[in-house]
Amino acid sequence: MVLGINRRNALIARRNPPEAVRLVRDKLRTKTQLRSHAVPVPPTLATISHVDDARDLDWDGLGEGWVMKPCASSQGRGVMVVVGRRGGSWALAGGQVVGLRRLIAHAEAIVDGDHSGGRPDRAIIEPLLVPHPEILALAPVGLPDIRVICLDERPLLAMMRLPTRTSGGRGNLHQGGIGAAVDLRTGRVTRAVHAGREITDHPDTQAAIVGSVVPEWSAVLDAARRAGVTCGLGYSGSDVVVDASLGAVVLEVNAHPGLEIQNVCGVSLFDLISGMSRRRTRM
Amino acid sequence: MSSEPALAHTSLETAHLLAALPLGAALTVAARTVLGARTIGVFAPALLGLVLVDLGLRAGMVVILVAALGGLAALPIVVRLALPRVARLGLLLSAICAALEVSGLADDQRAAMPVVVMTVLVERGWDVASGDGWRASTTLIGSTVLLAVVIASLLLTPPVEALLSAGGLRPVVVGGLLVALAGSYRGLRVGEHRRFASLRNSEIAQVA
């Protein structure tokens, strides 16, 4: 039987306490919690809590590449990716070049809650992560990540999300990203799905996705299995990035992970969870 | 000589609209949990449904359409101004009020009922469009309005009208019970049958 949204929500209501759900909705609190338990996360360059913070920030001192994102947004909303400097301006991932006023306006919009359903928010600035060369060879655009679904500390399913040109550099499957099922034991990609169709190669680069192995797989799995429980979640979906210099880092922990991973992996989460419960009962 | 209100009265008295709200909410919950309908705002369809009940389906749809067009017409300017969200919402609300005024619909005070909901609807629609494209946004707004029409049509059926007209707590209790019933449905949503079709077919094949 497939795990649908209704049954997943019931599972979440049972396994994820409200305070843990609130925690993971706040990326900054999540990072603090994970870091205090030695779960690897990207460093934080700056946080902006008030409009004044945005004006007082030393934007020149942030370095060449960095990412500004809302603390409480989802699905990549409100994320600004700076890839370098162009004179006194900043070059964005989409090719635009913007000035200081635009950066401050974006930070203010985040603080005003423009990307968080109108609720006041904070902006986090992190260094731009660079994918591990082996992943970069598969998808040269955007930032691929690995979503691992866990029940307590036990990983159930994993998929790598690879951005494409049509997805605008985003890994989200509904926006045109590729979902690649990853074997939990070996880290090898066993199956890949793009726009509802099974594929073997990346449509932009023709690089073979199926058969490739996620680098530093044991570190990815270890980070993911610890991230959910560290945040107090019984059922979680952790997003892990393998950075070229930092290695495996947890980018986000989700209390309501999506269900499309079942289609990508060709496996029902409901069956996996019921199988575990039956085994536990027998023991 | 006073001008005639542009909008017609329906059989459901305004006094009973409050009692109709839990029933509208129950229908929204059922549409989400059973059908898998995606709408803007949890209770926006129920509130718009009440607007349609109060104004009548045809006149209500005219008000909703004029409000939507007013908001959409102002959207490019509002977006270009790059204002904070609260100011953006305020400007959209002003544009919607202006559209209702210009079209002569504002003569009837009941036309003010959907203004806030429509403001949020247009703003949220723009938000979705900027992330997922206008197709996704149109689908979301369309399903919200369509569900409102379904809710209004059901609220205007004789048995529901009789329940609401009886007054008292009964319609509210019935609405609350229906919300609880629809909310405890755990099966696949209608849309999910297609979404997971290949996975379900492979499971069936394995069992066979």
Q: What is the pLDDT of residues A178-223, one digit of tens each?
A: 999 999 999 999 999 999 899 999 999 899 999 999 999 999 999 9
Specify the residue for token string 């006073």. B2
Q: How far apart are CA A219 and CA A214, in angstroms?
A: 10
Q: What is the pLDDT of residues B85-121, one digit of tens each?
A: 888 999 999 999 999 999 888 777 777 888 999 999 9
Under an 8 A CB cutoff, do B131 and A77 touch? yes
A6 touches chain B (CB under 8 A): yes
Q: What is the pLDDT of residues A24-75, one digit of tens each?
A: 999 999 999 999 999 999 999 999 999 899 999 999 999 999 999 999 987 7
A10 touches chain B (CB under 8 A): yes
Q: How confident is the model at residue B1 (pLDDT cuts 50, 70, 90)?
A: very low
3-state SS assignment for residue A160: strand
Under an 8 A CB cutoff, do A112 and B85 touch? yes
CA A146 to each of CA A14, A44, A130, A138: distance values in angstroms, whole numbers, following the listed order = 25, 21, 14, 13
Under an 8 A CB cutoff, do B199 and A266 touch? yes
The pLDDT score that the predictor gives to residue A280 is 65
Q: How far apart are CA A272 and CA A250, in angstroms?
A: 24
pTM: 0.84
3-state SS assignment for residue A27: helix
Measured between beta carbons, the chain A residues lying within 8 angstroms of B199 are 2, 262-263, 266-268
Biggest alpha carbon distance in chain A?
A: 67
